[in-house]
């Protein structure tokens, strides 16, 4: 990806997934795989001092632990501090030096990924140095239905995912897998879904995937955003928007202001590109709840049809409201 190469920020992958889904297994797999990259690891294990450090292999890696609470509530300050230390060790003139190409954060199975992801939008120094590459959610195929029925955390982990790893496929039948895949897709049609055993996957699907590059995903799997399935009555759903007519910037701003005021709490994740009238570049547009960012991306290519495409993932989404508001954004 040319954009990714030009972006000097350090990519960060966030591993999430419910308790026992296979996050540490994935982290170990990443650390031992032959990818030639140096990875700094941040581990947050709820209430178990040092446990994860013992489970994580790869002694050469920089491992930072956060044991004083759940990453999503009490210790976001810790996360900011650790990331700041890492940036200082890589770029600063201090004594402590650490050379690494990317950061992987393993969150506790009970974490709501939003505050972790928000860290990369909120804190200007962090946003300057680090870029959220992707949220990777490991799903336990055997227990997912139960977790999704019971808990908001599991639903939100699926909703926030850029990549879903349907793990432990050895423990369930093909039929069960297909049903579960449908359920996951109906909750988050934008995430790329892979089946895994022992969290093993070609790491090009997990690291350096530049999650906000919808185009790349569309190349791999055209139409994947449009898959819809209403068989389940899960509250978490995703809605996809596409419009080739250029949009009016003022109307888009009004739409977004209204959206964040009225529906910010229900919209977990949204991302995509906008085709703004008069703009030569695509505008990347993304956010998490009320935190929203947009910035000019690459220029539209010669021969490329400029198009606005984005996905909104959330709970109890008022799809009709979104469609009506979005329709008003088309430039006259
Ligand atoms: N049968 C089966 N077991 C698996 C698979 N992947 C992981 N496991 C096992 O599941 C258990 C939990 O895996 P972990 O990687 O520790 O899961 P985790 O998500 O890090 O767990 P927490 O940190 O407790 O949330 C371990 O015993 C793994 O060996 C799989 O594909 N199939």
Domain C-terminal end among 191, 226, 261: 226
Q: Domain tally for the chain?
A: 2
Domain C-terminal end among 226, 251, 272: 226
How many whole angstroms separate alpha carbon 218 and alpha carbon 106? 27
Residues across the chain:
332
Same domain flag for 68 and 194: yes
Q: At what angle do helices 113-122 and 76-91 cross, to 10 degrees?
A: 50
| Confidence (pLDDT) at 141 | 95
314 within some domain: yes
Same domain flag for 99 and 36: yes
Structure tokens at 111: 């974490």
Same domain flag for 15 and 108: yes
Specify the CATH number for the domain of residue 306: 3.30.1220.10
Nearest CA to ligand 1 atom 9: 22
Same domain flag for 158 and 242: no
- Enter the pTM of the model: 0.74
How many whole angstroms separate alpha carbon 23 and alpha carbon 21? 6
For 56, the domain range is 2-226
From ligand 1's centre to the CA of 20, what distance in Å? 5
| Confidence (pLDDT) at 193 | 95
133 within some domain: yes
How many whole angstroms separate alpha carbon 258 and alpha carbon 291? 13
Same domain flag for 209 and 253: no
Count CB-CB contacts under 10 A for residue 307.
Answer: 17
Same domain flag for 8 and 77: yes
How many whole angstroms separate alpha carbon 236 and alpha carbon 2? 34
From ligand 1's centre to the CA of 184, what distance in Å? 20
| Confidence (pLDDT) at 96 | 72
Pairing of β 102-106 and β 291-299: unpaired
Same domain flag for 198 and 242: no
The pocket around ligand 1, CB under 6 angstroms, is made up of: 17, 19-25, 109, 167-168, 170-171, 197-199
Domain C-terminal end among 226, 251, 284: 226
Same domain flag for 31 and 159: yes
| Confidence (pLDDT) at 67 | 44
How many whole angstroms separate alpha carbon 66 and alpha carbon 45? 7
Q: How many CA atoms, within 13 angstroms, populate the side-chain half-sphere of residue 124?
A: 0
| Confidence (pLDDT) at 159 | 87
pLDDT tens string, the chain, 332 residues long: the values are 344 446 788 999 999 998 789 998 999 899 888 888 888 888 765 443 333 443 344 434 445 544 444 444 445 677 888 888 888 888 887 777 777 888 998 887 656 677 777 778 777 888 889 988 999 999 999 989 988 887 777 888 898 898 999 999 999 999 999 999 999 998 888 889 999 999 999 999 999 887 755 454 444 444 444 444 434 446 778 888 899 999 999 999 999 999 988 888 788 878 888 999 999 998 888 777 777 778 788 899 898 899 998 888 888 889 999 999 999 999 98
Q: What is the 3-state secondary structure (H, E, C) of 81-101?
A: HHHHHHHHHHHCCCCCCCCCC
Same domain flag for 118 and 252: no
From ligand 1's centre to the CA of 188, what distance in Å? 23
> Is residue 210 left, alpha or beta, with left meaning phi > 0 and alpha meaning psi from -120 to 50?
left
């Amino acid at each position: 990806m040319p954009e990714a190469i030009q972006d000097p920020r350090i990519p960060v992958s966030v591993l999430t997934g419910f308790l026992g889904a296979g996050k540490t297994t994935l982290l170990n797999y990443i650390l031992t795989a032959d990818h030639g990259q140096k990875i700094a690891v941040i581990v947050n294990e709820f209430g178990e001092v040092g446990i994860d450090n013992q489970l994580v292999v790869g002694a050469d890696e920089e491992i930072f632990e956060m044991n004083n609470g759940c990453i999503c509530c009490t210790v976001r300050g810790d996360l900011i501090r650790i990331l700041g230390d890492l940036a200082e060790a890589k770029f600063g003139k201090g004594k402590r030096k650490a050379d690494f190409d990317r950061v992987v954060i393993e969150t506790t199975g009970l974490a709501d990924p939003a505050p972790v992801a928000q860290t990369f939008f909120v804190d200007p120094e962090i946003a300057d140095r680090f870029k959220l590459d992707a949220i990777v959610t490991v799903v336990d195929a055997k227990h997912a239905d139960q977790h999704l029925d019971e808990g908001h955390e599991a639903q939100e982990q699926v909703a926030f995912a850029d990549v879903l790893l349907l793990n432990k496929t050895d423990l369930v039948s093909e039929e069960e897998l297909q049903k579960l895949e449908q359920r996951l897709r109906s909750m988050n049609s934008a995430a790329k879904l892979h089946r895994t055993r022992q969290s093993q996957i070609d790491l090009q699907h997990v690291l350096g995937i530049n999650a906000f590059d919808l185009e790349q995903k569309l190349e791999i799997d055209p139409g994947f955003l449009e898959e819809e399935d209403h068989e389940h009555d899960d509250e978490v759903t995703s809605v996809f928007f596409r419009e080739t007519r250029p949009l009016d910037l003022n109307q888009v701003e009004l739409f977004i202001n209204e959206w964040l005021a009225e529906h910010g709490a229900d919209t977990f994740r949204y991302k995509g590109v906008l085709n703004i009238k008069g703009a030569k570049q695509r505008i990347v547009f993304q956010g998490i709840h009320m935190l929203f960012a947009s910035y000019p991306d690459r220029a539209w290519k010669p021969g490329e049809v400029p198009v606005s495409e984005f996905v909104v993932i959330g709970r109890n989404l008022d799809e009709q409201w979104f469609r009506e508001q979005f329709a008003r954004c088309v430039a006259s």
